[in-house]
């Protein structure tokens, strides 16, 4: 199913009795706390907040959008009943082969231009911007956002997700990690003594938003990639002050310029980040200033929110599924015998992956681990790569822990790699490393599989064959 905007996705969830409207909540913590309580419950519905305190009816906030495998599959166009590694396989199948990129189509106007405020009329707090977490340092309009930038030299457009805090009516900050394409593009402007033109959208079609927090190669626009995957170009309108392409059906768009950190910084955060801890701005608790010059929005706008929670709560569009699939693809191009790859949700979106492998030669397991650690899809913030045998389901944490406990000798089975690609959101970074902007970390490779040189002598597991279990189940089905 192809959705044209966020509203169509919400309507489909309503049809499936998978959406709950919440009336009268306070933007100050209650939206975030209700979301936190809901996200931990099985089969929790999408939440649509209306009649928010201090705001008129119709200025809404949507949260808990993709916290179940079913809604994640709905947004990504995957089988609705698939779970675990089956979802990873389904995404691999969807993205199999070379994707024909389909660039967006510019249209004269769209719903995003139903309301336009410029200059002195700009007021970011006309929207019910939440304070999401108890210790957050302010109100965050950008959690499920898209930050749109254009490379000043090559001309291609990047979409990324970076948190945006509101400070004044027309002043915000954008927190960016080093090495992300948005930050690299902005730096090119700053080095020329210019501010970087930026658009931040705060509510958009889920599939497009999902692609903007993936790792596309430099030079590939997420607009083109997402359009190619769904087989239909996205319609965009030209920005009022930035000339950047904005999704025509987006809910809210903020246009302006990102100021060089050498010129101006503002205190930012703390903010409850994806690792499950509070994080602050990159520059000693500060972040670059975003001066907003125009605000575009639809009638009765829906602010899309994705406040991070302690794992395994999912606030992305199945990023763990797509990350696992992309790592699997990259590793398989170099290493044979890969049977499955999974991101450990209980540890968060980035920290830990598991590779299931049929070992074929000495060093095979470590080769697979190093390939994953060095891959474009896997390198960022990856701290643990666990390799297990083909009889282990990599998406079943109980299976994985059993393999680690029973098939490793810690002194022989664990290796470390230093200087890996990290982020200032890593809570274990020491004050000294932060002070010198060194955000690298070490990564551990855990070979939780049978030692290859005596694999045939390794004691067999007591796992019963599926055929025997099936025969027993048929005979004694009244017990189960």
pLDDT for res 96: 84
How far apart CA 285 and CA 261 sit, in angstroms, is 12
Same domain flag for 120 and 195: yes
How far apart CA 237 and CA 224 sit, in angstroms, is 15
Buried residues in 299-325 as b, exposed as e (16+ CB within 10 A): eebbbbbbbbbebbbbbbbbbbbbbbb
Give tens-digit pLDDT for 256-271.
Answer: 999 999 999 999 999 9
- Range with the poorest average pLDDT among 119-133, 207-221, 227-241: 207-221
Q: Where among 304, 328, 363 does a domain terminate?
A: 304
For residue 394, being part of any structural domain is answered with yes
Can you tell me whether residue 56 is helix, strand or coil? coil
Same domain flag for 156 and 296: yes
How far apart CA 308 and CA 222 sit, in angstroms, is 23
Same domain flag for 391 and 433: yes
pLDDT for res 18: 96
For residue 151, being part of any structural domain is answered with yes
pLDDT for res 178: 84
Report whether 62 contacts 128 (CB < 8 A): no
Residue 350 is part of a domain; what is its CATH number? 3.40.1670.10
Report whether 120 contacts 259 (CB < 8 A): no
Threshold 0.85, pTM exceeds: yes
What share of the chain has pLDDT > 70, as a percent? 100
Same domain flag for 223 and 324: no
pLDDT for res 200: 98
What share of the chain has pLDDT > 90, as a percent? 83
Same domain flag for 272 and 371: no
Same domain flag for 415 and 269: no
Question: Helices (DSSP H) in 129-263: which residue ranges?
Answer: 181-191, 206-211, 222-230
* Residue span of the structural domain in which 389 resides: 319-457
How far apart CA 23 and CA 47 sit, in angstroms, is 10
For residue 376, being part of any structural domain is answered with yes
pLDDT for res 99: 87
Same domain flag for 133 and 205: yes
Laid out side by side, the sheet with 235-238 consists of 105-106, 235-238, 245-247
Give tens-digit pLDDT for 319-333.
Answer: 889 899 999 999 999
275 — pLDDT class (breaks 50, 70, 90): confident
Averaged pLDDT for residues 306-329: 87
Mean pLDDT computed over every residue of the chain:
94
DSSP category for residue 28: B
Does residue 314 have a pLDDT over 80? no
Same domain flag for 296 and 330: no
Q: Where among 251, 280, 304 does a domain terminate?
A: 304
Report whether 42 contacts 69 (CB < 8 A): no
Same domain flag for 329 and 299: no
Same domain flag for 226 and 260: yes
Same domain flag for 139 and 249: yes
Does residue 175 have a pLDDT over 90? yes
Token pair recorded at residue 449: 């599989």
Averaged pLDDT for residues 99-119: 96
For residue 38, being part of any structural domain is answered with no
Domains held by the chain: number: 2
How far apart CA 76 and CA 99 sit, in angstroms, is 16
For residue 90, being part of any structural domain is answered with no
State the residue for tokens 């108890």.
Answer: 134
Residue 232 is part of a domain; what is its CATH number? 2.30.110.10
440 — pLDDT class (breaks 50, 70, 90): very high
Give tens-digit pLDDT for 48-66.
Answer: 999 999 999 999 999 999 9
For residue 464, being part of any structural domain is answered with no
Report whether 426 contacts 282 (CB < 8 A): no
- Residue 108 Cα distances to 67, 103, 112, 200, 249, angstroms: 35, 16, 11, 20, 12
Same domain flag for 169 and 283: yes
pLDDT for res 290: 98
Give tens-digit pLDDT for 202-232.
Answer: 999 999 999 887 778 899 999 999 999 999 9
Token pair recorded at residue 369: 């681990």
How far apart CA 345 and CA 395 sit, in angstroms, is 9
Residues 6+ apart with CB under 8 A from 401: none
Choose between 216 and 373: higher pLDDT. 373
Give tens-digit pLDDT for 37-49.
Answer: 998 888 899 999 9
Among candidates 303, 336, 326, which has minimal Cα distance to 379? Answer: 326
For residue 123, being part of any structural domain is answered with yes
For residue 134, being part of any structural domain is answered with yes
């Amino acid at each position: 199913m192809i959705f044209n905007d966020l509203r169509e996705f919400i309507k489909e969830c309503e049809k499936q009795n998978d959406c709950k409207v919440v009336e009268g909540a306070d933007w100050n913590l209650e939206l975030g706390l209700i979301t936190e309580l809901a996200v931990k419950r099985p089969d929790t519905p999408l939440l649509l907040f209306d009649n928010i305190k201090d705001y008129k009816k119709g200025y809404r906030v949507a949260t808990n959008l993709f916290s179940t495998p079913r809604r994640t599959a709905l947004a990504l166009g995957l089988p609705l009943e698939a779970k675990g590694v089956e979802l990873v396989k389904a995404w691999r199948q969807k993205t199999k082969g070379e994707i024909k990129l389909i660039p967006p189509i510019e249209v004269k106007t769209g719903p995003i231009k139903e309301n336009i405020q410029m200059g002195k009329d700009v007021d970011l707090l006309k929207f019910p911007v939440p304070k999401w977490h108890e210790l957050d340092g302010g109100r965050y309009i950008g959690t499920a956002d898209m930050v749109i930038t254009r490379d000043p030299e090559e001309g291609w457009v990047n979409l990324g997700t970076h948190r945006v805090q509101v400070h004044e009516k027309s002043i915000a900050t954008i927190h960016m990690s080093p090495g992300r394409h948005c930050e690299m593009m902005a730096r090119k402007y700053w080095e020329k003594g210019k501010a970087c033109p930026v658009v931040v959208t705060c509510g958009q079609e889920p599939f497009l938003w999902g692609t903007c927090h993936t790792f596309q190669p430099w030079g590939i626009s997420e607009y083109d990639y997402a359009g190619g995957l769904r087989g239909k170009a996205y319609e965009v309108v030209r920005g009022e002050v930035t000339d950047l392409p904005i999704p025509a059906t987006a809910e809210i768009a903020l246009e302006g310029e990102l100021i060089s950190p050498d010129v101006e910084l503002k205190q930012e955060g703390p903010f409850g980040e994806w690792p499950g801890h509070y994080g602050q701005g990159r520059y000693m608790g500060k972040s670059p200033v975003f001066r907003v010059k125009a605000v575009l929005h639809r009638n009765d706008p829906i602010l899309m929110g994705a406040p991070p929670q302690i794992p395994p709560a999912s606030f992305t569009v199945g990023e763990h599924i797509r990350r696992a699939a992309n790592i699997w693809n990259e590793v398989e191009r170099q290493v044979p015998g890969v049977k499955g790859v999974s991101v450990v949700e209980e540890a968060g979106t980035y920290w830990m992956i598991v590779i299931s492998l049929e070992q074929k030669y000495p060093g095979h397991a470590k080769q697979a681990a190093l390939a994953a650690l060095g891959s474009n899809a896997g390198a960022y913030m990856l701290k643990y790569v666990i390799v297990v045998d083909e009889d282990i389901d990599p998406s079943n944490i109980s299976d994985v822990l059993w393999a680690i406990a029973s098939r490793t000798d810690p002194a022989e089975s664990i290796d470390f790699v230093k200087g890996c690609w990290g982020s200032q959101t890593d809570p274990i970074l020491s004050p000294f490393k932060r002070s010198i902007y060194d955000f690298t970390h070490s990564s551990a490779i855990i070979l939780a599989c049978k030692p290859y040189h005596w694999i045939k002598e390794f004691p067999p597991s007591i796992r019963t064959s599926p055929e025997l279990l099936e025969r027993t189940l048929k005979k004694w089905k009244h017990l189960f």
